[in-house]
Chains A and B, each alone.
Chain A
Amino acid sequence: MKESIIICRCSDLTQQDIRDLINEGYTTFDEIKRISRVGMGPCQGRTCLPLVLKEISIAIGIPMSDLSPGTFRPPVKSIKLEALTEEAIEGGESYLE
């Protein structure tokens, strides 16, 4: 039976997937993110980040307080490309006035 402890709901990654990556030498959240897309879905790490850091902490024996949660790039939620191009063309409307 397929292992069913889900760590990352957005990209469907299990605890075993994360543990395998750590064993392969990916021991920071950013490294695991780049190889697996963990934290890159709609939740942007809000669900999976604490769970992944805990796995790293246990595996390599470094306390959570000394681990890096990685880089939080904008935007923190998805936005339509249309909105961005509109803003670029119109140069930012005077919204509140």
Chain B
Amino acid sequence: MIPVEILVIGGGPAGLCAAVQAAEMGSKVLIVDRNNTLGGQLVKQTHMFFGSEKQYASTRGFDIANILLDKIDKMKNVEIMRKATVLAIYEDGVVSLEHKDKYIKIKPKAIVVATGASEKNLAFPNNDLPGIYGAGAVQTLMNEYGVKPGNRVLMIGAGNIGLIVSYQLIQAGVRVEAIVEAAPTIGGYLVHASKVRRMGVPILTGYSIKEAYGTDSLESAAIWKLDENWRGIPGTEKKLNVDVICISVGLSPLSELLWQAGCQMKYIHELGGFVPVRDTNLHSSVKGLFVAGDVAGVEEASSAMVEGYIAGMSAAAYLGYKLYNMKLVKEDLMNQLDSLRHGPVGEKIRRGISNLTIEHEAAASVDAL
């Protein structure tokens, strides 16, 4: 059994920031990530971020990952285990993982779970034809591996991921035939929507996919208009010649480790599914287990980073580490989250989170110091 002070599961934006903050307060941190390259989904984000300077606005996603990794590189009390997948968190706090074909057990004093989220799938006829991908998967193929997914794309979903990946497909020389969105309005930022519209891509709201066609792989697709009960209206079908369909209908938190650990979970639609209840320090209902990023509720990389700092600080404080101005730092981080969660989408997220908040005894938490 390997003793570890703070175990951070997942080296994406939330996990990296949690490690930075916890290590800055003097604790020893181990980050485990299943990939060889850390940074999570940041590594394929070629666009510049919004938010404020504190979340590296106007910096491209992959550059943000490098900034955080450089910082961690200089810290002597952070260790990184790459290509390591956590397999379980047991009730007694033991964590098992697979690394280089070995089965390893770890006993951390505190855990930050920052496992992120996975892409949701959609049920429609022939949805298993080759050529039908998650939008994030296509982004990985293009931006990380330099593989062009096809030539003509139908994008399903006009949230930020659908819009940004559409733009990046066009940049890569791929034609985007249409973006369909089942909801009556575009979910993503208008800046992104206007950009792809200016490039001639129609965004059809109130539309969804009816069926995909093809023998060995995708050859075409039919879309149709939806009525107010989200059912397709016969006679409104349009056929599109596409060899790629990207599904971008939301993310689902990767929360199985939290269930295993015994965290109290709640289904919050606005946050992507089942998410852990927590206090404002991101302490879950299980003592010593903290959460940050998409696993705690699907949002964006910017808020994941801020949550990471909060969870890292809380985990270190839980073990007795201090910062002279901890209360001020926490206040500033909470304010950053508030300003990231403005507008109609942010309002929904705030409402979702307010249904999740619990109070812990103040002992050994940020608030007590």
- Contact across chains for B126 and A4 when beta carbons are under 8 A apart: yes
In angstroms, Cα B198 to Cα A35, docked, is: 51
Query: Are the CB atoms of B101 and A83 closer together than 8 Å?
Result: yes
- Does B66 interact with chain A (Cβ within 8 Å)? no
Interface pair B98/A47, CB less than 8 Å apart: no
Which of chain B's residues have a CB closer than 8 A to the CB of A73? 260
Asked if B192 lies at the interface with its beta carbon under 8 angstroms from chain A, I say no
Among the listed A51, A69, A76, A82, which residue makes an inter-chain contact with B88, where contact means beta carbons less than 8 Å apart? A76
Of the candidates A69, A71, A92, A95, the one having the most CB atoms from chain B within 10 angstroms of its own CB is: A95
Contact A76 B102 (CB under 8 A): no
| Contact A46:B254 (CB < 8 A) given known A74-B96, A75-B87 | yes
Q: How far is the CB of B365 from chain A (nearest CB, A)?
A: 28
Q: What is the CB-to-nearest-CB distance from A51 to chain B, in angstroms, rounded to a whole number?
A: 6
Min distance, Cβ A74 to any Cβ of chain B, angstroms: 3
Closest residue to B274 on the A side, CB-wise?
A69
B252 proximity list for chain A (CB < 8 A): 46, 49-50
Tally A residues with Cβ within 8 Å of B: 38
B87 touches A77 (CB 8 A): yes
Indicate whether A38 reaches chain B with its CB closer than 8 angstroms: no
Asked whether any CB of chain B lies closer than 8 Å to the CB of A36, the reply is no
Neighbouring A residues of B105 by C-beta, 8 Å: 87, 92
Please pick, from A15, A47, A74, the residue contacting B90 in the complex, using a CB distance under 8 A.
A74
- For A79, the chain B residues whose CB sits under 8 A away are 87, 98, 103
Check if A84 sits within 8 Å of B128, measured CB to CB.
no
Q: Within 8 Å of chain A (Cβ to Cβ): is B49?
A: no
- CB neighbours (8 Å) of B99 from chain A are 95
**Cβ of A6 < 8 Å from any Cβ of B?**
yes
B2–A76 touching, CB < 8 Å: no
Contact of A6 with B87 in the complex, beta carbons under 8 Å: no
Report if A92-B104 is in contact (Cβ < 8 Å); known contacts: A5-B124, A6-B128: yes
| A96/B87 contact (C-beta < 8 A), A4-B128, A15-B123, A86-B103 known | no
Binary CB contact string for chain A from 1 to 33 against chain B (1 if under 8 A, 0 otherwise) = 000111101000001000000000000000000
Decide: A64 near B269, CB < 8 A? Known: A79-B87, A83-B98.
yes
Q: Is the CB of B102 within 8 A of A87?
A: yes
For chain A, what secondary structure do more than half of its interface residues adopt (helix, strand, loop), or is it mixed?
loop
Known A-B contacts A46-B252, A83-B98, A83-B101; the reply to A77 vs B273 at CB < 8 A is no
* Bound form: Cα–Cα A86–B103 in Å: 8
Q: Which of A45, A72, A83, A96 is within 8 Å of B102, CB to CB?
A: A83
| A77-B87, A79-B98 as given contacts; A4 in contact with B125, CB under 8 Å | yes
Contact B269 A77 (CB under 8 A): no
Cα A51 to Cα B90 in complex, Å, equals 28
A84: chain B residues within 8 A (beta carbon): 103
Assembly CA distance A74 to B128 (angstroms): 28
- Given contacts A6-B128, A65-B266, is CB(A96)–CB(B103) below 8 Å? no
> CA of A5 to CA of B132 in the docked complex: distance in angstroms?
13
B95-113 CB mask vs A (1 if < 8 Å, else 0) is 0101101111100000000
The reply to whether B104 and A72 contact each other, CB–CB distance below 8 Å, is: no
Q: Does B56 contact A (CB under 8 A)?
A: no
B269, A51: Cβ atoms closer than 8 Å: no
A61 to chain B, nearest CB (A): 15
Contact of A7 with B266 in the complex, beta carbons under 8 Å: no
Provide the residues of chain B in CB contact with A75, threshold 8 Å.
Answer: 87-88, 96, 98
CB distance from A67 to the nearest CB of B (A): 8
A71 to B121, CA, bound (A): 21
B86 interface contact, C-beta 8 A:
yes
Minimum C-beta distance from A29 to chain B (A) = 12
Is B87 a contact partner of A76 (Cβ separation < 8 A)?
yes
Which residues of A sit under 8 angstroms from B88, Cβ to Cβ? 74-76
The yes or no answer to B79 lying at the interface (CB within 8 A) is yes
Please state if B267 and A65 are interface contacts (CB–CB under 8 Å): yes
**A95 contacts across to B, CB distance below 8 A:** 2, 99, 102, 104
User: Which A residues lie within 8 Å of B98 (CB)?
Assistant: 75, 77, 79, 83
Q: Can you identify 7 A-B contacts, CB atoms within 8 angstroms?
A: A5-B127, A51-B123, A65-B267, A72-B260, A93-B102, A93-B104, A96-B4
Q: Top 7 A-B pairs ranked by shortest CB distance?
A: A74-B88, A75-B87, A65-B267, A72-B256, A83-B103, A87-B103, A6-B128
